[in-house]
């Protein structure tokens, strides 16, 4: 069943489903969506509403089809999931999670993967006062991120930014703690 409602607007129902779908041609794009209703009059009403919403977006200069671009924070959340799924947990993984949550993701906020440049990573490292250990932890976090981005085909190996050569700050050696039996 296929019914034209207006130029570039139609509703239809496929044989294998009871729900109606809308097809809208706008701004040289074709959008198809399920209306998730089986009543034809309700489907028509929802189709018109969808058309007016899309025309409103176009008029306001908003993107009609929102592209879901991966943010740096979303990518790091996937890195954390991978860390969580490793059977044998090492104590260093807690440090990775801490650095990602408390330093890296707040710094990059809602930036997308396109903003993951060598310059932005260098600026991040320069914004911190890092000991050698913290520098290594941060570097490992970024390496894990790069590995994820390459494996999941978000970036090619040739597109991955380089990590900066950053000086670590000398930290004075501290006396070790000794516990005395009680």
How do strand 2-6 and strand 20-26 relate by DSSP bridges? unpaired
Provide the pLDDT for residue 130.
Answer: 87
Q: How far apart are CA 37 and CA 149, in angstroms?
A: 38
Percent of the chain with pLDDT over 70: 90
Provide the pLDDT for residue 126.
Answer: 92
* Segment 58-103, tens digit of pLDDT: 888 777 766 567 889 999 999 999 888 888 889 999 999 999 999 9
- The dihedrals phi and psi of 115, each to the nearest 5 degrees, come to -85, 0
């Amino acid at each position: 069943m296929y019914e034209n409602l207006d130029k570039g607007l139609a509703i239809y129902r496929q044989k294998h489903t009871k729900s109606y779908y809308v097809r809208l041609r706008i701004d040289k794009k074709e959008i198809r969506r399920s209306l998730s209703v089986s009543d034809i009059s309700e489907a028509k009403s929802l189709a018109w509403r969808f058309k007016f919403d899309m025309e409103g977006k176009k008029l306001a200069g908003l993107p009609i089809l929102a592209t879901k671009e991966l943010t740096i924070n979303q990518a790091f959340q996937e890195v954390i999931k991978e860390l969580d799924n490793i059977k044998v947990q090492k104590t260093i993984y807690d440090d990775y999670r801490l650095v990602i949550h408390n330093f890296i993701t707040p710094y990059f906020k809602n930036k997308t993967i396109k903003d993951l440049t060598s310059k932005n990573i260098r600026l991040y490292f320069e914004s911190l006062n890092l000991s050698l250990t913290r520098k290594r932890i941060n570097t490992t976090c970024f390496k894990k991120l790069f590995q994820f981005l390459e494996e999941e085909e978000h970036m090619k190996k040739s597109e991955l930014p380089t990590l900066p050569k950053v000086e670590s700050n000398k930290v004075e050696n501290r006396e070790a703690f000794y516990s005395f039996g009680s």
